[in-house]
Amino acid sequence: MDCNDIMRAMEARLKEKYPGEEVYWNQLPREFTRPCFTLELTKNETADANRFLVRRTAVVLVTIYEAANAFYDSSREGLNDRQDQVLALLSMPLAAEDRTLLPTTQKGEGTPGYSEVSATFQWMDGRPGLVDGDTASESESGVPRMEHFEINNTTRSTGNGKDDIP
């Protein structure tokens, strides 16, 4: 799973809630139609968790545009309503690729022209390129695996009538 999988899942959720409205990625076209949304990946981070795992963090910004009046102003009430609805959408688990994520933080901010909601997602991944020699197959680690072993289970007599194991 990568950050674009999260963006696609968020786009699908917005389109399901607001059918017929455009969801743009990263920037708006010059002549965009309101109401619509933009999605931007504002943070993509990988940090050490331990020898085998890394913690991935992605922050996605959803910008909300409401229909504008003749003065190109949006209704603050309409923007606030849509912001609340988007925050509610992000409070539910988000299925992205082979995982289900729940945002760790969400926040909304607004201006007279648009509102924004940001969501932070975190998950753990295996460290890229690391092969654990203890659990990996021979082809992955290059270390031959033990396939055959013998146990020498012989006894010797000490002469006292009891057998001792060497």
Does residue 18 lie within any of the structural domains?
yes
Residue 72 maps to which CATH number?
A: 3.30.2000.30
In a domain, 144, yes or no: no
Give residue 25's pLDDT band: very low, low, confident or very high (50, 70, 90).
very high
Return the pLDDT at 141. 47
Establish if 134 belongs to a structural domain: no
Q: Would you state the pLDDT for residue 100? A: 93
Return the minimum-mean-pLDDT range out of 26-35, 63-72, 120-129, 133-142: 133-142
Domain assignment present for residue 94? The answer is: yes
Number of domains forming the structure of the chain: 1
**H-helix segments, 20-104:** 76-90
Q: Flag whether 156 is in a domain.
A: no
**Residues facing 65 on adjacent strands:** 36
Three-state secondary-structure class, residue 138: helix
Domain assignment of residue 149, yes or no:
no
For residue 67, the model assigns a pLDDT of: 84
The domain of 92 spans 3-126
Nearest to 86, CA basis, from 69, 63, 105: 63
pLDDT digits (tens, 9 = 90+) for 66-99: 887 766 667 788 888 999 999 999 889 999 988 9
Residue 135 within any structural domain of the chain: no
Top pLDDT among 147 and 131 is at 131
Summarize the confidence of residues 5-13 as an average pLDDT. Answer: 96
**Does residue 119 fall inside a structural domain?**
yes
